[in-house]
Amino acid sequence: MYRKGAHTIYECHYHFVFILKYRKPVLRDEVGYRLRDLIREICRAMDIEIIKGHIRPDHVHLLLSVPPNLAPSRVMQAIKGKSSNRLMRDFRSLNKAFWGRHIWARGYFVATSGNVTDDVLAKYIAEQDLVPRDDADFKVTE
């Protein structure tokens, strides 16, 4: 479903996966539920819609609808940074498991998602020219 901004109509879906440092399985029970609440709070503040999420003991999957003015790197910076800080403060036991004030491993996985495939988009772009031409990959209409 398309979302609206002040001057945009968009559908920017991203699938994120990020893991705990050392893959320690600590996202259980209270910690997992607290993380879910924190992610919801962070996303709400950034106007990000959570389409689907799953917190596993050692990693997190999120499918998010992100406004086009936010880069995926900025989204991950906010989610990982703020959640790490708050979880370490709320659960002192995590300080023993994760020294250095970071609970998340460096990096993350991100992929875009949409209603159409690359093949459909490529065909749409290719068919914009009314007169067929030989330059198959990148056309200029005169």
Token pair for 140: 């200029």
Catalytic residue among 14, 22, 108, 124: 124
Q: Please state, in angstroms and rounded to a whole number, the distance separating the CA atoms of residues 103 and 25.
A: 11
Per DSSP, which regions of 13-86 are E strands? Answer: 13-19, 49-55, 59-65
- Please confirm, yes or no, whether 124 is among the known catalytic residues: yes
Residue 35: what residue type? L
Burial of 16 by CB count in 10 Å (0-12 exposed, 13-18 middle, 19+ buried)?
A: buried
Catalytic residue positions, numbered? 124
